[in-house]
Amino acid sequence: MVVSEVSKHYVPLTCHGHSRPVTHLNFSDLTQDGQYYLISACKVTDNNPMLRDGITGDWIGTFIKHKGAVYQARISADAETAATASADFTAIIWDTHTGAEICTLQHNHIVRAIAFPPGNGSLIATGGMEKKLRIFDLSKYSSSDLDTSVVSADKGFEIGPNVHKGTIKSIVWTLDPNILVTAADDKMIRWWDLSTRTVVQDQPVEGEIGSCEFTNVKGKEDDIGGGLPVLTIAAGKTIYFYGGANARTLLKTVVMPYEVASVALHPGQRKYVTGGVKDTWAKVYEYDTGKEIDVHKGHHGPIWSISFSPDGMLYATGSEDGTIKLWKNCTGPYGLWRADKE
């Protein structure tokens, strides 16, 4: 699919429900029946992450327990569980079918980041203002621990004590289950080898780190990244694209004329979308040339999170204005879009 086929201005779907800024969005993988889901995180005084149908944006349910801002929310690969990181010093693991709490990971300070490993498993990684990267294996906790639903952060295994010098803002797990990436306020992106518990690569950045995420769209061999997920990082005015099985190969850097809050890449269409720190527009660029090819207007605040759906047919934006918008990224009917509109 070429860029020109999907550069029309379709009316976006607006997902209401949050009352405060949307801080993070995460799509599930495609399920066996071709469906997928979207989870969103929101700042205080909302505190309630929401689960939606990824194709239509329809509300499915709200996860209720947090008593502080939720900074990050993720869905497991099989869409069976969700995980949220909060300012109330907790990370909570949820059952996506019932909305019930599976367990609470009780920390000693604000939790900003959380991540599932590739595939399915019982591991979870957390990080935040304690500046500690922890790995939890939920399968090892006794039934009495899970009966109380509260697990102390001390039961998590800390990776690289005293290495992070700033708040951990994002964690992503690469296809290599031993390689995990952290983005911290000390202006450093770090690649961790969990088998040796050491940093095997780092990338200093200039400016505040906005987003650090993997592409969702399944690529082909001739796509950007050669069919593997691409790590996209927005930091200050610079965007970084990393590829390879463990996302350690720098594919490209792009310096923008503005500070970037968020970025998402579509490897097959060879384009990326950005949200700026000081504007309200989603801007679309050609990956190979850096040419701006589209601008999507509709939000009333900066866009803090952007993500393409796993099938690449749409992308979602989460904004300071408390709304989520779904933008059509294909031709013909899709979801609630029944006809093309110029």
The predicted-structure confidence for 291-306, as pLDDT tens digits, reads as follows 999 999 999 999 999 9
Confidence at residue 280, expressed as pLDDT on a 0 to 100 scale: 95
In this prediction, residues 283-296 reach a mean pLDDT of 96
Confidence at residue 38, expressed as pLDDT on a 0 to 100 scale: 97
Look up the domain containing 44 and give its range.
Answer: 23-204
The pTM score is 0.93
Amino acid at residue number 196: T
pLDDT digits (tens, 9 = 90+) for 171-205: 999 999 999 999 999 999 999 999 999 999 999 99
Is residue 219 domain-shared with residue 152, that is, in the same domain?
Answer: no
Is residue 100 domain-shared with residue 149, that is, in the same domain?
Answer: yes
Give the DSSP H/E element, type plus range, for residue 144. helix 143-148
65 CB neighbour count, 10 Å cutoff: 18
Is residue 193 domain-shared with residue 286, that is, in the same domain?
Answer: no
| 235 and 226 Cβ atoms separated by less than 8 Å | no
61 CB neighbour count, 10 Å cutoff: 15
Is residue 267 domain-shared with residue 338, that is, in the same domain?
Answer: yes
Q: How many residues make up the chain in this entry?
A: 342
pLDDT at 103 over 60: yes
pLDDT at 55 over 60: yes
Q: How many distinct structural domains can be found in the chain?
A: 2
In this prediction, residues 295-322 reach a mean pLDDT of 95
Is residue 29 domain-shared with residue 174, that is, in the same domain?
Answer: yes
Surface-to-core class of residue 64, CB atoms within 10 Å of its CB (0-12 exposed, 13-18 middle, 19+ buried): exposed
Kindly state the tokens that stand for 324: 């989520």
Is residue 29 domain-shared with residue 152, that is, in the same domain?
Answer: yes
In this prediction, residues 18-28 reach a mean pLDDT of 94
| 50 and 63 Cβ atoms separated by less than 8 Å | yes
CATH number at residue 303: 2.130.10.10
Confidence of residue 47 (pLDDT cuts 50, 70, 90): confident
Confidence at residue 8, expressed as pLDDT on a 0 to 100 scale: 60
Tell me how far the alpha carbon of residue 214 is from its chain's centroid. Answer: 7
Kindly compute the dihedral angle of the four CA atoms of residues 167, 71, 213, 74, in this order, to the nearest 10 degrees.
130
Is residue 212 domain-shared with residue 333, that is, in the same domain?
Answer: yes
User: Pick from 204, 235, 252: which residue ends a domain?
Assistant: 204
DSSP track, 278-341 = S---EEEEETTT--EEEEE---SS-EEEEEE-TTSSEEEEEETTS-EEEEE-SSS-BTTB-S--
Give the residue carrying structure tokens 């009316």.
11
Is residue 333 domain-shared with residue 248, that is, in the same domain?
Answer: yes
Is residue 198 domain-shared with residue 265, that is, in the same domain?
Answer: no
pLDDT digits (tens, 9 = 90+) for 321-338: 999 999 999 999 999 998
